[in-house]
Amino acid sequence: MLTELRAIPAGWEAGRTRRGGVADPAHRPAHRPLRQFIENIDSTRADLRVEGLRKLTWQGSVLVENLVLLRLHADRRAVRAAGRPEVRRAIEPLGELLGTTTGHAREEILTVLLSLTT
């Protein structure tokens, strides 16, 4: 899966669009934060790298949000990451996780939910 994910920003940087066409080089965003985020998914870092993600295009932002949402149930780093780039779509899934989570993990979820809803 990570191989396919790594290919996405690489393709964007090469100027390829989703449909296989060539994008205007003047409109190519810097995808380094996205590459770093994807590389970080299978790392042992304490937190997922979210530095610079706010500068991504809509397309890159949606990809990062989807990756965070997909990992909420299995990776506490994703829970913390949901609050840092303010992934508002995570509010409902995080609320659902509260019913099955205890201890420190529950406190982290509550903290993120508070930051997303205030």
Specify whether the CB–CB gap between 52 and 32 falls below 8 A: yes
**pLDDT in 10s for each residue of the chain, 118 residues:** 556 666 666 665 565 555 555 444 434 455 678 878 888 888 888 998 888 888 887 888 888 888 899 899 889 999 999 988 788 899 999 999 999 999 999 999 999 999 999 8
pTM for the structure as a whole: 0.69
End-to-end, the C-alpha distance of the chain in Å comes to 35
Residue 11 contacts residue 4 (beta carbons within 8 Å): no
Q: What per-residue confidence (pLDDT) applies to 90?
A: 93
Query: Which tokens in the block code for residue 77?
Result: 């780093």
* Strand partners of residue 51: none
Q: What is the pLDDT of residue 24?
A: 41
